[in-house]
Amino acid sequence: MVQLSAVNKADFGRRLLVATHNLPLLFPDEAQYLGRAVPKRIQEFAAGRLCARRALAEFGFTDYPLRSNSDRRPQWPAPVIGSITHTAGMCGAVVAKQRQFRAIGLDMEIVGRVTP
């Protein structure tokens, strides 16, 4: 397992956003995968794609529509790989250079609250 501190952080694009009701529009090539999805799924999908596009922009991919494979995995542009995750009200994406990593994953869960 590679820890982020053990690699060049410039090789990663990462974004974490809090989903809101004021989400940007999806690209038509992305929206086609939603079919008859419920509003919660549309919101999660759109927020995840926004995070991914912002992470991709750190690698020079601006306004890149992130299409889905038949198994719903994102089609990342060569030469990058990435991962998208979401949970209640939050989403995130991470992108890395494919020449350095075979795969990359990201997951988030809300396990409790921290009180100050």
Provide the 10 A C-beta neighbour count for residue 30. 21
What pLDDT score was predicted for residue 112? 78
Alpha carbons 39 and 23: distance in angstroms, whole number: 12
3-state DSSP assignment of residue 92: strand
- Do residues 84 and 93 make contact, with C-beta atoms less than 8 angstroms apart? yes
| Bridge partners, residue 111, by sequence | none
Tokens, residue 32: 């086609």
What pLDDT score was predicted for residue 89? 77
Superfamily of domain 10-97: 4'-phosphopantetheinyl transferase domain (3.90.470.20)
Amino acid at site 55 = A
Alpha carbons 88 and 12: distance in angstroms, whole number: 24
What pLDDT score was predicted for residue 81? 93
In the chain, what are the domain boundaries?
10-97
What pLDDT score was predicted for residue 87? 81
What is the block-wise mean pLDDT of the chain (116 residues), using blocks of 10 residues? 39 50 67 83 85 89 91 92 86 89 87 75
